[in-house]
Amino acid sequence: MSEALRIENLSKAFESQGVRKQILHKLNLTIEEREFVCVLGPSGCGKSTMLRCVAGFEKYEGVIYCNGKVVNKPSTDRIMVFQDYNQLFPWKTVEANVQYPLKVTGIKDKKELKRISDEYLAKVNLTGYQRYYPHELSGGMKQRVAIAKALALKPGIILMDEPFAALDAITRNKLQRELYQISTDEQLTVIFITHNIQEALTLGTRVLLMSEDGDIVIDRINTLEKPVKPSVKGYGEMWDLFSQGLEGNYPRENRGERRA
Amino acid sequence: MRKYRDLIIQVVFVIVCGVCWQLYAKSRNLMGFPSLDVIFNRLVYCFTNERRPILQYLFNSILSILKGLGIGALLALIFSSLSVSSHVFGILYNLVVSVFDLLPGVALLPILMITIGANDTSILVLVIHSVVWPMSRNLIDGFRTTPQIYVESGRNLGLNIAGMVFGIYIPSSFASILSGVKVGWARAWRGLISAEMIFGAAQSAGIGVFINNARTVWIDYPAVYAAIVLVIVVGVIVEYGIFLQIEKATIRKWGMVR
């Protein structure tokens, strides 16, 4: 495996009303190709901020390398899937939403665009919805389109910021299963931010926990038997570890180290 | 069902108004208050007779307004894009818009007459003036309220400024833009006709000149009414035939308005 992303000494502070708040302080993280990294952490710990830095939406201190290149602005090799399911353009059909980024990156041939959008919409089980407008779809369907749109670009890394957090539990489970299937089929490299331990264990090949201070305090390769269910061996211990961790009780000796 | 009922109520109202008009006009027989059949016959006469070529006048007005609307909309687009991308330009332009938006176009006429002269250019400036400020307000509001998530989706694709404006900001603010064009059109149409009536003899005489001529030169009151009817008809066609259709094909279809 080769390296997809390397974050070195990432620091980020926000200033509001004259008060400076340090969100991230000298964070280090390396992600290999084909890793599906789930990042857990309490609200406000800086996990979304880290993702936004990787996406190139924020200025930061430190260095981020994506496929060897320094990140200084947004690019289609790091595609973001947002939590808000109103991320699709309402003025475009489902199909046009998937095709638009491809057009921007230089694919002009209409047949080719159609072929690609059909292929990826089929992967997210939305064949037949090409002509729909986003307002005619449910939240879960919109997130599927957003995922298809990201996949179609074949980015080096997909950045997902709690994409399923606003969905109901049943839809959420269904989308998790679909995404797991797609990520193994397509060998995706993903950073997936979530609050939900079950989701992290189901999807991730590697699960991280960020503390309130923005440090990575737990970093585990997910060795649970797939597909992950609460009944598989080791699930309970993993769940306990991260559940305790989210409340601030993590094994201190593990700080910053990677345990494989 | 409710829609049909509303329509019936409106139609009945119009018929009642028409009947009242007709009864009053027939009973008093005033020169300044012709009956509906006289107005209608006059309108037909104006359409067909060389001595009152109302369509030619109307065509001139529509041409001026299209020119003015086009230039005004383009200027509004340029200035609004600049004012959302540059802070200093933004605050200055905001000031300029607040000042000029309150100024009725007709109030500028004396100045235009002295500086530019009583010609088509003055009329064009006046139409542009009526369009550019309200449209700018709407465009800037639309651009400013473009959801952050569309902006970031656009940036994620590496769009440049032109790509962002045409690919994200304009479609996302289409509802505001459309209402800006509506306001701009209404103001320009009214402003144009007032200006034409005050100017009297502009180079290419519009429907306002026709109304004025009918009153002062031809002393033909039914023709005045006929022209007013035509002005209203054009307004209705633009509202329902153009704007409503654009709305149905865009923001309603996209679920951006109900």
Per-domain residue ranges of chain A: 3-77+156-254, 88-154
Report the C-alpha gap between B210 and B43 in whole angstroms: 13
In contact, A208 and A40? CB cutoff 8 Å: yes
Across-strand partners of A210?
A: A216
pLDDT at site A21? 86
Q: Which homologous superfamily does the CATH classification assign to the domain defined by B32-249? A: MetI-like (1.10.3720.10)
Instruction: Name every residue whose Cβ is closer than 8 Å to that of residue A75 and which is 6 or more positions away in sequence.
Output: A56, B156, B158
Q: Give the sheet arrangement for strand A216-221, strand by strand.
A: A78-81, A157-161, A190-194, A36-40, A206-210, A216-221
Written as six digits, the tokens of B147 are: 């959801």
pLDDT at site A198? 93
pLDDT in tens, B108-165: 888 888 888 877 888 888 889 988 999 999 999 999 899 999 999 999 998 988 888 8
What ipTM, to 2 d.p.?
A: 0.87
Q: ∠ CA B18-B20-B25 to the nearest 5 degrees?
A: 95
Report the C-alpha gap between B192 and B255 in whole angstroms: 35
Tens of pLDDT along chain A (260 residues)?
688 999 999 999 888 888 888 888 889 999 999 999 999 999 888 899 999 999 999 999 999 999 888 998 899 999 999 999 889 999 999 999 999 999 999 899 999 999 999 999 998 999 999 999 999 999 989 999 999 999 999 999 999 999 998 889 998 998 999 999 999 998 999 999 999 999 999 999 999 999 988 889 999 999 898 888 889 999 999 999 999 999 888 877 554 444 43
CA proximity to B80, closest of B131, B147, B30: B131
Helix and strand numbers, DSSP H then E, in chain B: 13, 0
In contact, A81 and A158? CB cutoff 8 Å: yes
B174 in reach of chain A (CB within 8 A): yes
Report the C-alpha gap between A159 and A192 in whole angstroms: 6
Instruction: Name every residue whose Cβ is closer than 8 Å to that of residue B177 and which is 6 or more positions away in sequence.
Output: B135, B138, B139, B142, B170
pLDDT at site B202? 58
Residues of B in contact with A100 (CB under 8 A): 157, 167
Report the C-alpha gap between B140 and B83 in whole angstroms: 8
Contact call for B256 and A55, based on CB within 8 A: no
In contact, A222 and A205? CB cutoff 8 Å: yes
Helix and strand numbers, DSSP H then E, in chain A: 7, 10
Contact call for A91 and B167, based on CB within 8 A: no
Contact call for B254 and A57, based on CB within 8 A: no
The beta-carbon neighbor of B155 closest among A57, A90, A134 is: A57
Residues of A in contact with B246 (CB under 8 A): none
B257 in reach of chain A (CB within 8 A): no
For chain B, list residues with pLDDT below 70.
200-203
pLDDT in tens, B6-19: 999 999 999 999 99
Report the C-alpha gap between A42 and A23 in whole angstroms: 13
In CATH, what is the architecture of A3-77+156-254?
3-Layer(aba) Sandwich (3.40)
Q: How many CB pairs under 8 A join A and B?
A: 60
